[in-house]
């Protein structure tokens, strides 16, 4: 289990160019495997174009109390990139003026941003329909100052989306670190106590499952059933939906794939599972991702690869939805991860 | 040519068996696909049976495929190993039960 980000380790994969080089060259260079670009050409979807903006995803910083092995953000306690209140002000302005109905706060652990609560309070006033905070759960138990987060979330009717790799301790701790399972269970129980995740409750609690290894997620519906049964029977925990997400071959997951000699097989698996029907709903088509320093990206993955939007509007300070929506989405080989099987987005399967 | 009998990469080419006999290959894959759909047994239970059988028939391709399938279905390593033991128990039981035939034959031939 790593305790530092790739960046802090000085790993060459911490540099996005190096990752892109591997993705664009690597096993695809021999022509044996097709380019994603060509695949979507065949179904007349190239260049990939955005639809109406629905989701504004804001990454408020890469700092995290965990160092999960598969993290596509390469987040960790050593990452210092953090959104300032000034940039948050710019985001708030956009939130007020945009047609987006969903606000999706992510990180790192978004709660570790010192202005997190202020931002949630201000953003909650803006009349967004679905206000998501992506919480890793353990942060709620990490330190006394976070213990009241469930109450805070409830007060602002925040939709909590939490990662949970498995319903067993062993698999969860292996992917996310020792003790993560017990803390996550405790956090889920606390959320349940506030009414989160209970049948019929408006306080939404969804879980995110992504495979802890070099394989694709199974059927989302079947996994949800298994998760619900096990968490209920073993710990009395309830939640609403499970989103099954495919790990994209970038950052620490890419590092793991290469180190474990699974990279080639994994890429084959993604390409073999390519589902043209999933292309229509990949999340970059209705989402804009904002980084901690205010740059705009087609999605959180492109953010980590430092592929800024192909538009003359590149920063939140110049935000203009019409100009921004008239752009081509930047794609590369990692996009196969979004179109494998039933497809994958932050909201789970797409096809 | 690979210099060993089994090459993990060959598993990816399984679908190609259809090329040399379209009709039979297609019929096989239709049947295969249907067998593994959830029915009276769940897809999870079927995956564990397949894993146990893979060991009994000692097929390295199937072992790889159903270990991966198990992971995709959230099956734990403890469950997988138990399934392998079920296969092993039946396999060794099947060997041992023939000991009765040996005993019968022995007794018949002995004074
Ligand atoms: S996956 Fe989430 S919880 Fe884990 S290190 Fe990355 S941001 Fe933190
Ligand atoms: S990785 Fe990003 S750009 Fe590529 S398909 Fe997925 S959401 Fe779209």
Tokens 């889920």, residue? Answer: A188
CA distances from residue A223 to A69, A176, A227, A321 in whole angstroms, order as listed: 21, 19, 6, 37
pLDDT, tens only, B20-42: 999 999 999 999 999 999 999 99
A306 burial class (0-12, 13-18, 19+ CB within 10 angstroms)? middle
pLDDT, tens only, A289-317: 999 999 999 999 999 999 999 999 999 99
Specify the pLDDT at position A27.
Answer: 74
pLDDT (tens place) for every residue of chain A, 351 residues total: 668 999 999 999 999 999 999 998 877 766 678 899 999 999 999 999 999 999 999 999 999 999 998 999 999 999 999 999 999 999 999 999 988 999 999 999 999 999 999 999 999 998 899 999 999 999 999 899 999 999 999 999 999 999 998 999 988 888 888 899 999 999 999 999 999 999 999 999 999 999 989 999 999 999 999 999 999 999 999 999 999 999 999 999 999 999 999 999 999 999 999 999 999 999 999 999 999 999 999 999 999 999 999 999 999 999 999 999 999 999 999 999 999 999 998 988 888
**What does pTM read for this prediction?**
0.92
Decide if A167 and B74 are in contact by the 8 Å CB cutoff. Answer: yes
Query: If we measure between CA atoms, which residue out of A159, A149, A72 comes closest to residue A108?
Result: A72
For residue A268, give the nearest of B12, B72, B77 by CB distance.
B12
A169 at B interface, C-beta within 8 A: no
A142 CA → ligand 1 middle, Å:
14
Tokens 């109390």, residue? Answer: A65
- The CATH number of whichever domain residue A32 belongs to comes to 3.20.20
- In this structure, what DSSP letter does residue A329 have? P
A221 at B interface, C-beta within 8 A: no
Q: For this complex, say whether ipTM is above 0.85.
A: no
Dihedral, CA of residue B1, residue B7, residue B8 and residue B12, to nearest 10: 50
A70 CA → ligand 1 middle, Å:
8
Name the stretches of chain B with pLDDT < 50: none
Decide if A268 and B73 are in contact by the 8 Å CB cutoff. Answer: no
Edge-to-edge strands, sheet with A102-106: A242-244, A205-209, A159-163, A130-135, A102-106, A55-59, A287-290, A296-297
Decide if B71 and A213 are in contact by the 8 Å CB cutoff. Answer: yes
Specify the pLDDT at position A351.
Answer: 86
Q: Is A247 in contact with A70 (CB distance < 8 Å)? A: yes
A316 at B interface, C-beta within 8 A: no
Range of the domain at A150: 6-349
The per-residue b/e assignment along A95-123, b for 16 or more CB within 10 angstroms, e otherwise, is beebebebbbbbbbbbbbbebbeebbebb
How far apart are alpha carbons A159 and A147 in whole angstroms?
Answer: 17
- The total number of structural domains that make up chain A: 1
Domains of chain B, first to last: 21-110 (1.20.1290.10)
Q: Is A135 in contact with A110 (CB distance < 8 Å)? A: yes
Specify the pLDDT at position B1.
Answer: 57
**By CA distance, what is A212's nearest residue in B?**
B71
CA distances from residue A46 to A126, A149, A322, B34 in whole angstroms, order as listed: 35, 43, 20, 35
The two tokens of residue A269 are 């698996």
Decide if B43 and A268 are in contact by the 8 Å CB cutoff. Answer: no
A32 burial class (0-12, 13-18, 19+ CB within 10 angstroms)? exposed
Position A279 in a domain: yes
Specify the pLDDT at position A58.
Answer: 98
Position A166 in a domain: yes
pLDDT, tens only, A28-58: 766 678 899 999 999 999 999 999 999 999 9
Which chain B positions have a beta carbon within 8 Å of A216's beta carbon?
72
Position A135 in a domain: yes
Position A17 in a domain: yes
Residues A149, A56, A332: CA angle, nearest 5 degrees: 115
How far apart are alpha carbons A205 and B76 in whole angstroms?
Answer: 25
Position A112 in a domain: yes
Specify the pLDDT at position A101.
Answer: 93
B31 burial class (0-12, 13-18, 19+ CB within 10 angstroms)? exposed
Distance (Å) from the alpha carbon of A228 to chain B's nearest alpha carbon: 13
A170 at B interface, C-beta within 8 A: yes
B43-56 and A220-235 are packed helices; what angle lies between their axes, rounded to 10 degrees? 100
End-to-end CA distance of chain A: 34
Position A114 in a domain: yes
Specify the pLDDT at position A33.
Answer: 81
Position A1 in a domain: no
Give DSSP secondary structure letters for A51-118. Answer: -S--EEEEE-BSB-S---TT-SS--BTT---B--HHHHHHHHHHHHHS---EEEEESS-GGGSTTHHH
Which chain B positions have a beta carbon within 8 Å of A213's beta carbon?
71
Query: If we measure between CA atoms, which residue out of B43, B40, B14, B41 comes closest to residue B29?
Result: B14
Q: From atom 5 of ligand 2, which residue's Cα is the shortest distance away?
A: A335
Position A87 in a domain: yes
């Amino acid at each position: 289990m790593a305790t530092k980000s790739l960046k802090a380790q000085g790993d060459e994969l911490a540099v996005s160019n190096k990752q892109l080089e591997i993705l664009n060259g690597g096993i695809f260079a021999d022509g044996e495997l097709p380019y994603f670009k060509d695949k979507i050409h065949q179904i007349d979807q190239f260049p990939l174009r955005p639809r109406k903006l629905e989701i504004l995803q804001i990454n408020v910083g890469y700092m995290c109390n965990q160092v999960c092995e598969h993290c596509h953000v390469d987040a960790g306690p050593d990452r210092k990139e953090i959104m300032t209140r000034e940039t948050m002000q710019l985001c708030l302005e956009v939130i007020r003026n945009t047609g987006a109905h969903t606000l999706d706060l992510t990180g790192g652990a978004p709660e570790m941003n010192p202005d997190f609560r202020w931002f949630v309070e201000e953003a909650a006033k803006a009349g967004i329909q679905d206000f998501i905070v992506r919480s890793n759960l353990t942060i709620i138990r990490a330190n006394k100052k976070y213990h009241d987060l469930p109450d805070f979330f409830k007060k602002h009717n925040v939709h909590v989306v939490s990662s949970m790799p498995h319903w067993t301790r062993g698999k969860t701790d292996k992917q996310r670190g020792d003790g993560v399972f017990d803390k996550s269970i405790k956090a889920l129980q606390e959320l349940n106590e506030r009414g989160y995740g209970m049948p019929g409750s408006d306080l939404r609690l969804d879980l995110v499952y992504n495979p802890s290894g070099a394989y694709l997620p199974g059927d989302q519906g079947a996994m949800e059933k298994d998760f619900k049964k096990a968490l209920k029977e073993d710990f009395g925990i309830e939640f609403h939906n499970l989103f099954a997400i495919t790990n994209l071959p970038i950052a620490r997951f890419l590092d793991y794939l290469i180190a474990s000699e699974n990279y080639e097989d994994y890429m084959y698996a993604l390409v073999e599972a390519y589902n043209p029907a999933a292309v229509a709903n990949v999340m970059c088509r209705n989402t804009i991702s904002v980084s901690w320093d205010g740059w705009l990206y087609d999605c959180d993955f492109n953010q980590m690869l430092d592929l800024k939007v192909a538009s003359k509007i590149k920063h939140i300070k110049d935000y203009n939805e019409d100009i921004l929506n008239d752009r081509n989405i930047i794609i590369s080989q990692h996009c196969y991860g979004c179109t494998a099987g039933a497809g994958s987005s932050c909201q789970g399967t797409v096809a | 040519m690979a210099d060993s009998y089994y090459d993990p990469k060959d598993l990816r080419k399984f679908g190609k068996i259809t090329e040399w006999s379209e009709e039979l290959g297609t019929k096989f894959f239709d049947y295969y696909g249907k067998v593994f759909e959830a029915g009276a047994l769940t897809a999870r239970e079927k995956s564990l049976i397949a894993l146990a059988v893979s060991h009994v028939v000692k097929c390295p391709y199937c072992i790889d495929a159903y270990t991966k399938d198990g992971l995709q279905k959230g099956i734990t390593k403890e469950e997988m190993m138990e399934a392998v033991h079920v296969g092993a128990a039946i396999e060794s039981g099947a060997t041992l039960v023939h000991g009765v035939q040996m005993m019968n034959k022995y007794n018949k031939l002995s004074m």
